[in-house]
Amino acid sequence: MEETETKTIMQELADLCQEIYEKSYHDVFDFGEYSDEELQEQKAMLLRKKELLANLHLETIVEQKEIPEPNGEDFFTLWNRLWDMRIESQPVLREIYSVVALSQIFKKVKIYRGSVEEDIRVHSCVIMPSGTGKSEGNDFLYQFAMRNGKKYYSIERFTDAILTGSIKRGILDRNTSKGLKEGDIGWKDPTTPSVLTTYDYVVSDEGESILKSSRQTEGAQRLLQKAMNRYGSEGNLLTNNLVDGEITARPDCSIAITSYYLDEFKDTLLERGLLQRMIVYIQEENEDRRTKIIDRIIGDIASFTDNKDEAYAEIFERKDLVDGYYAHLVAEVNRLKKIHQDTEYVVMMDESKPILRNSIDELRNIMPMLVGQKQIWESMISRLTVNILKISAIYALADGRDYIMAKDTTKASSLMMETMRSVAFFLKDNVQTKMDNRTVQVHARLKAKKGGYFLSEKEWVEYLVKEMGFSEQQGKILIKNFIDNGKMSYRADKKLVLS
């Protein structure tokens, strides 16, 4: 009877892991030994994660075949319709790009917290296999920008001159030779401004070069970090000291980086603060998804059976349909701009705060990790809180409100759960710190010295302090990590034994 129960709970856990993480149970919890009580705790944790994810609807919008009439569809429905007509099987990317797009529409609106004014700009970094929609997503953002009076810049080189601006020596010499000063008739501005201040969306379609950690990219990554810092803050000011003078810039753009996977990506994640400021989404290769993409490419080709005019008719109908939806999307953006033309701040209803707190707690404990991995993960959480707050504000503004409700925070938290679970698995699968290696060594040493011993948590911590030189805090962290990863388990008498 007991064996059947265990199999049942294991099957439930396996199904939940697949549903929530798209991974097997052992991918999430490794191959540790867990008591029935611990398995029930895992189930409760997974159900909380499932509930968090349930608030983001990522279904594909059913395509209409006729030119649409204005029918009051909101921004996200129109955005999703247009996206799904073009890009296959990328609902998470679709949602990320929608909030990036809107963050520039509403970039003058602020969130007041404490004594600072937080701008609501959102930035993204998407790592995906080649040929799955990265460039299509960027072009979709370009089409949106062009139709809504926003400037889009596709950045390929990350030089100081491009990121901070430069001075044209010829114009400077001309002004000097003629004795012209700023404000004089005939004076010309010798500066070329930073693309980060000139454009609204700065997009790196092939972002491999900037995501590599090297001496060459370190300076550029630092400038991009500053560009993403809170607008108007000291940390948002870019400075370039040149022979001919000083150039300064305060960027207010949104930055989007897309790339295929590369090994150096983990070094950027670990050593630089660039990605902590962005919504990061890492997508693995998926055979079913790629098959759907290939089928979609073939299926979307205008074709005919007997008369080629059928194919041309299909082309013109499709173009009319797309143009009709874009007209509605632009009209909806203009409607929202008008509603918020005097909106200075977004505030929050009290009902949203416990949801935000709970969501952060769930994301902090997204899955078992090694000690070093956990420390890296925790370093991302404070900025993650700000990103959830920004996205909540965008959802509120898109709904015509200047205040955040519970449903906004819930949906924003769901999106971050979608993206951060991909980062968590990347961390778990690809990063093992010196501390993690040390943890493995400590477990092996404990097995050799104290294997089979039944001790309370306090007694295990005391042993680590007295016999192995750990501080009490380090000992507590280590024991908790052993429990979380199935390296140590509770007995019925609440004693702990090494697994």
Note the pLDDT tens digit of each residue in 397-426. Answer: 999 999 999 999 999 999 999 998 888 888
Mark whether 285 and 137 lie in a shared domain: yes
**CB atoms < 10 A from the CB of 403, how many?**
14
Structural domain contains residue 368? no
The CATH number of the domain holding residue 201 is: 3.40.50.300
Is the pLDDT at 333 greater than 70, yes or no? Answer: yes
**CB atoms < 10 A from the CB of 5, how many?**
11
Mark whether 16 and 139 lie in a shared domain: no
H/E run at residue 280: strand 279-282
Mark whether 101 and 198 lie in a shared domain: yes
Mark whether 31 and 150 lie in a shared domain: no
Structural domain contains residue 413? no
Structural domain contains residue 311? yes
- Residue predicted with more confidence, 217 or 91: 91
Number of domain units in the chain:
3
Domain boundary among 343, 369, 388: 343
Structural domain contains residue 110? yes
Structural domain contains residue 326? yes
Mark whether 42 and 86 lie in a shared domain: no
Domain membership of residue 22 as a residue range = 1-54
Strand pairing partners for 246? 241
Mark whether 46 and 79 lie in a shared domain: no
Structural domain contains residue 398? no
Write the burial class of residue 174 (CB in 10 Å: 0-12 exposed, 13-18 middle, 19+ buried). middle
Mark whether 327 and 449 lie in a shared domain: no
- Residue predicted with more confidence, 201 or 232: 201
Mark whether 154 and 214 lie in a shared domain: yes
Least confident window among 33-37, 41-45, 363-367: 33-37
Structural domain contains residue 408? no
Are 107 and 230 in contact by the 8 Å Cβ rule? The answer is no
Domain boundary among 292, 314, 343: 343
To the question of pTM greater than 0.85 for the whole model, the response is: no
Secondary structure of 102-153 in HEC code, one letter for each residue: HHHHCCCCEEEECCEEEECCCCEEEECCCCCCHHHHHHHHHHHHHHCCCCEE
Structural domain contains residue 335? yes
Instruction: Give the pLDDT confidence of 165-179 residue by residue, as tens digits.
Output: 887 777 777 877 777
Instruction: Give the pLDDT confidence of 240-260 residue by residue, as tens digits.
Output: 876 566 788 899 999 999 998
137-172: burial string, b at 16+ Cβ within 10 Å, e else: bbbbbbbbbeebebebbebeebebebbbbbbeeeeb
Mark whether 103 and 219 lie in a shared domain: yes
Mark whether 114 and 48 lie in a shared domain: no
Are 279 and 387 in contact by the 8 Å Cβ rule? The answer is yes
Any idea what the Cα angle at residue 13 is, between residues 10 and 18, rounded to 5°?
Answer: 125
Mark whether 80 and 50 lie in a shared domain: no
- Residue predicted with more confidence, 412 or 477: 412
Nearest to 237 by CA among 225, 248, 228: 248
- Residue predicted with more confidence, 233 or 5: 233
Strand pairing partners for 202? 153, 255
Mark whether 253 and 332 lie in a shared domain: yes
Nearest to 292 by CA among 133, 134, 138: 133
Are 27 and 14 in contact by the 8 Å Cβ rule? The answer is no
Q: Quote the pLDDT of residue 4.
A: 44
Is the pLDDT at 133 greater than 90, yes or no? Answer: no
Domain boundary among 343, 358, 373: 343
| Most confident option among 85-94, 207-216, 361-370, 475-484 | 85-94
CA distance 292 to 282: 19
- Sign of the Cα pseudo-torsion (60, 64, 68, 73, in order): negative
The CATH number of the domain holding residue 485 is: 1.10.10
